[in-house]
Structure 1
Amino acid sequence: MKYKVLAADDEYWSRENLRSLISWEDYSIEFLDPACDGEEVLERIEEEKPDIILTDINMPFLSGLELLQKLQTEHPEIITIAVSGYDDFDKVKGVFVSGGLDYILKPVGKEELVKILTKALGILEEREMARKHKETNQIQEHKISSFLEDSEYSALLSGKLYGQFTAQPHVSSTKEFSGVAALLVKFYNIAEIAEKFEYDNLQMSLSIKTRLRNLTGCNAEAIIFNNCNKMSEFLIFTSYRINSLRILAENILEEFPLDEYGPVSVILHEQTGSLDDIGSMYRDMVAVLVTRPFTHSHCILACSQEEGSQSVGKTVSHRIEEEVYHLLNTGQKSDTAKLIFRTCDFKHCDNGEWSFLDVKQYVRRITGILYRYVQEQHPELTAQAEEAMDDIDYYMKCLDAPSVMASIRILLDSLWENNPDKNSTDSAGSQVEQIRQYILTSYHENITLTALAAAYHMDASYLSRMFSQTYGETIIACLTRVRMEQAIRLMEDEEKKLETISFLVGYDDYNYFSRVFRKKVGVSPREYRNNMYK
């Protein structure tokens, strides 16, 4: 940090002597243009903000002692050093009474000046360290307070509230909090956003909430919180009218541009409610959330006031199911892929005509057929099929259509591949090892198959096959295993909440993390932690 020194002396040669006596830059000090008297010093303080003032004692208009007294009263944070040509005890005494750090006799020597400046810089650095420490503590307290408030509001979403609700005074009464509308803000690239905050989920949450509150015009009545069970979701409850709410939604999307934050969905709840309605309003918005287009784009949707207006997803007819199964049984690989990807134009499911729900329903039916075939005809591939289905589920949550497609193709390919290509495995060995090392160190990031394939200039299906043949597990299976291992390690810290651990290992949705953990470990995260401390 660079500090500023302002010298004051009515004698030109004294001022210039101070300017040239030492190399100020070597001490990380900016030597400001010296002042001619005390009055000029007072005039320049507000604009130039000096940290240290060197002042002559005997100056016209406003003496050095008078200047020191004013500085002690009006700017006590400035370190002051007196300079005089007289060895006068009363003046020396006056310097210290007026808050001066020390007293230097003219002519000022280099060694003496360096000594007293070192003392002054030491004080300034101690102050700066204390300020940063205090600021860090305040920020941490603010983050923890924010998280606790989030936890209380999040409990209301599921109708559960553990302990006493301690919301802020302006929202503590249900009567006060009535007739409000709501917004749900959903981020899909939350892992990339977290990277901007060095994976400090509390700081990320607080920062996003602060930006959302600023967009409401710092409306004190608005409730804004981060869903602790789904770190990618932020909710706003406000007294805005619906037209203003739509403007707020548009402003939110502008605040978080697509190229920097990835896709964002904003769901509006057009019917107003009260604090008691938070849970039902949230469920309404989540129901609408799945109807967003399955595209890498921003989206604004509104909860319809008409019941039963939700669209019905695209379906796979019973005839098509039978045909897919027949093609699988007769080994018609090419025709099977054509039927799956060309039916309803599924290969273009990210063209804006398919909703998230459409894709989810379609994929579920197709993978169900494939899984049934594996269990009946190739039970030895059951574990591999389950891993592929986990991969697909993971990519669905990221709105990653290319990776969803690639994972389905990989699952299909595995049904006809019985003999690993040894030469291919050897040639790709270096790259897949690099990818494995990347997973081991960057497991908390949003790692996708297509992104890895693009980064290493490989076909996604080929990359997945080579990785599986080399390590005996798919890329996502490896990623999941590493994440669970890291989660267990983090559970040793009793102070870390499970929701925080979930986020730190790459899951913004705690419920999803809990399901994966139970599947891989055999018990829920909470049960596992409880057993650790028995």
Structure 2
Amino acid sequence: MKTMKYKVLAADDEFWSRENIRNLIPWEEYSLEFLEPACDGEEVMERIEEEKPDIILTDINMPFLSGLELLERLQKEYPEIITVAISGYDDFDKVKGVFVSGGLDYLLKPVGKEEMVKVLTKALNLLEERENTKKQDETSRIREHKLSSFLEDSEYSALLSGKLYGQADAQTYVSSTNTFSEVATLMVKFYNIAEIAEKFEYDNLQMSWSIKSRLRELTGLEENVIIFNNSNKMSEFLLVKTADAKEFRTLAENILREFPLEEYGPISVVLHEQTSSLDDIGTIYRELISTLVTRPFNRHHCILSCQEEKRGESQRSSEIQMMGKSAPAHMETELYHLLATGQRSKTEKLIFKTCDFKDCDNGAWTYLDVKQYTGRLTGILYRYVQEKCPELTAQAEEAMDNIDYYMKCLNAPSLLASLKILLDSLWERGEDKDSDSGSGSIMQQVEQIHKYMERSYHENITLTALAEEYHMDASYLSRSFSQKYGETIIAFLTRIRMEKAAELMKDPDKKLETISFLVGYDDYNYFSRVFRKKMGCSPRDYRNNLAQL
């Protein structure tokens, strides 16, 4: 059934004239709803508010309220309604009066089908033009609002590091927007930000604005609330407002319901309920981050509170010793021995089964536990590589970067796979790799993966996801890709991203944080570190060098 887009209301004091107009054309074929005709001008005015016609066809000669009088009132009270006059007399003064009163056209009775279609086409074109203009104006308004919101994000984000970049008056602007001093703070951390960005076609302004709008709705649209997206870490949103502990806890629970796990991935909400001044936001942020690392290392929502971290240092210290999972002191000596003597199974058992590390996402490990354990482990392996097989140094560094990245995403399978690939490279060192060249079908799959990454570099691409998609073992896929293209999958992906970032930096209007997000990194500091490593200088220095050319 065709949707009726616009409504038409006809007015004539003669029954047969009204019926003639009703049956003149098949209105629904023109996406028009023909309303029950009115008997006079007064009836038209009474029905407008409820029925909201878009087009009014009115006879000129009617009792009580003539057609010209109706047109004059419509022009003053409802100028958006398109009006067409119909008369049985070709009277110049009346024709002139129609147009003076804002009428679109003047038709003579009896009105023919061709004439009616012609005037309706004119009316419909005008309505469509108005609608398009309205949409453009709305789009422009929203765009301006998003840009303003993004600039505000940048200013507030600068406060997190204790200093504000840019013009001095920006500090005045940030301070002047707030009429309160004692506030509590809440941070929302998304771990699937790349997948969320895909929903918005990687428009970071739209994504950020949308999430902030939803967070603001959850606060009841209170005026004294600051909500901003951390420009350096697009996955972090901070909310600052006056609230008591119970209210904040309820808000946190509502946030997790608003962004369900199956649609948005895991989220952490960290509460800092102790009130403070906005001037202390840098200190508050560091406390929020310190609390954030105590979340379970798994793919579930969680709520954390900084208040729970304010207990005695001795109690906290003893709990860390009891709960923390770290590599045992003897691991370095034992691991060196097993690697040197080629005891593969025992090496993997030592690494993956110590403290049950192979199941680090079972809820028993915190983010900090995983970070400390992998840090100690990769440190041992990196020293071994440098001493025993320095030709694998670049590969070891890449594996360490991958592990760090997957840890930030709470992606245990990819983290463990990256570690296993590094170990496999140690066992395969010195072997005849040409003997494992792979079948033609495998190489075709590798080519498909290569092409996919070239066009989808900005997406959240992981080795384990690729391996699962193409039904291959992650280590075997990594080895096959390296054999064909002379670099690992992650090295290739990183190179493509950095080359694209360098290209985007030619546009001086694009902020570096935006470029970081556009090439697949939600954490600008991490992007900057990778860029410096690959390009030899920081993103800011690279852009400055471009400006001097």
* 2:340 partner letter: N
Q: Give the TM-score, by structure 2 length.
A: 0.92
Rate the CA distance shift 1:165–1:234 in 2: closer, same or farther, 3 A.
Answer: farther
* Structure 1 residues 49 and 170, CA gap change in structure 2 (3 angstroms): farther
Separation of aligned partners in 2, 1:307 and 1:231: 33
Question: Partners in 2 of 1:173 and 1:40 — Cα distance?
Answer: 51
Contact 2:164 2:171 in 1 (8 A): no
Q: Which moved more, 1:35-44 or 1:144-153?
A: 35-44
Match of 1:373 among 351, 366, 384: 384
Q: Equivalent of 1:34, from 29, 33, 37?
A: 37
Q: Given the alignment, which residue of 479, 482, 489 partners 1:468?
A: 482
Partner residue in 2 for 1:256 = 259
After superposition, the Cα gap between the structure-2 partners of 1:531 and 1:59, relative to the gap in structure 1 and judged at 3 Å, is same
CA contact (8 A) 1:270 1:305 kept: no
Encode CA deviations 1:415-457: one digit per residue, 9 max, x unaligned: 1123335452533112121111111111111112222222222
Tell me the residue number matched to 1:459.
473
* Equivalent runs, 1:53-452 vs 2, <5 Å: 53-162=56-165, 163-166=167-170, 172=176, 176-303=179-306, 304-306=309-311, 308=313, 309=316, 311=320, 313-417=324-428, 418-420=431-433, 421-424=435-438, 426-452=440-466
- When residues 423 and 522 of structure 1 are mapped into structure 2, their CA distance, relative to the original with a 3 A threshold, is closer
TM-score, normalised with respect to structure 1: 0.95
- What is the Cα deviation at residue 166 of structure 1? 4.3
SS of residue matched to 2:53: coil
- Could you tell me how far 1:399 is from its partner in structure 2? 0.7
Look up the equivalent residue of 1:164 and give its one-letter code.
A
Deviation (angstroms), 1:223: 1.1
| 1:271–1:305 contact (8 Å) kept in structure 2 | no
Distance in 2, matches of 1:75 and 1:392, equals: 64
Where does the alignment leave 5 or more consecutive residues of structure 1 unmatched?
Answer: none
Aligned partners of 2:37, 2:469: CA distance in 1, in Å?
A: 58
Note the C-alpha offset of 1:38. 2.9
RMSD, aligned CA: 2.0
8 Å CA contact 1:179–1:273 kept in 2: the answer is yes
TM superposition shift of 1:177: 3.0
User: 8 Å contact 1:170–1:221 — kept in the other structure?
Assistant: no
CA distance in 2, matches of 1:224, 1:88: 64
Does 1:44 find its partner at 2:55?
no
Partners of 1:428 and 1:33 in 2: how far apart? 70
Relative to 1, partners in 2 of residues 1:63 and 1:439: Cα closer, same or farther, differing over 3 Å?
same
Q: Secondary structure at the match of 1:315?
A: coil
Amino acid in the other structure paired with 1:31: F
Deviation at 1:169, TM superposition (A): 7.7
Report the residue type matching 1:19 in the other structure: R
Aligned to 1:497: 511
Q: Which moved more, 1:114-123 or 1:388-397?
A: 114-123
Q: Using a 3 Å threshold, how does the CA distance of structure 1 residues 419 and 390 change in structure 2: closer, same or farther?
A: farther
Describe the superposition over 1:349-398 as per-residue Cα deviations: whole angstroms up to 9, x where unpaired.
00111011111111111112222222222222222222222221221111
1:528 alignment partner, SS class: helix
1:2–1:30 CA contact under 8 A, matched in 2: yes
Give me the whole-angstrom Cα distance separating, in 2, the residues matched to 1:170 and 1:320: 51
CA distance in 2, matches of 1:470, 1:31: 68
SS of match in other structure, 1:183: strand
Distance 1:405 1:114 in 2: 70
CA distance in 1, matches of 2:540, 2:268: 31
In the alignment, the residues of structure 2 paired with residue 406 and residue 115 of structure 1 have an alpha-carbon distance, to the nearest angstrom, of 69
Report how far residue 110 of structure 1 moved: 2.1
Matched, 1:523 2:537: yes
**CA deviation digits over 1:13-41, x for unaligned, max 9?**
33343334334444443433433433343
Report the CA distance between 1:58 and its aligned residue. 2.6
| Matched-pair contact (CA < 8 Å) for 1:152–1:161 | yes
Question: Residues of 2 paired with 1:64 and 1:113: CA distance?
Answer: 18
- How many residues align? The count is 533
Q: Deviations over 1:278-312 (max 9, x none)?
A: 10000000111111111001111011223533735
SS of 2:222's equivalent in the other structure is coil
AA of the residue aligned to 1:234: F
Cα distance, 1:35–1:478 mapped onto 2, change above 3 Å: farther
**Greater mean alpha carbon deviation, residues 507-516 or residues 416-425:** 416-425
Q: 1:167, CA displacement in angstroms?
A: 7.2
Return the offset for 1:11.
3.4
* Letter of the 1:306 counterpart: R
Q: Is the 8 A contact 2:156 2:174 kept in 1?
A: no
Offset at residue 61 of structure 1 (A):
4.0
1:119, distance to aligned residue in structure 2 (A): 2.1
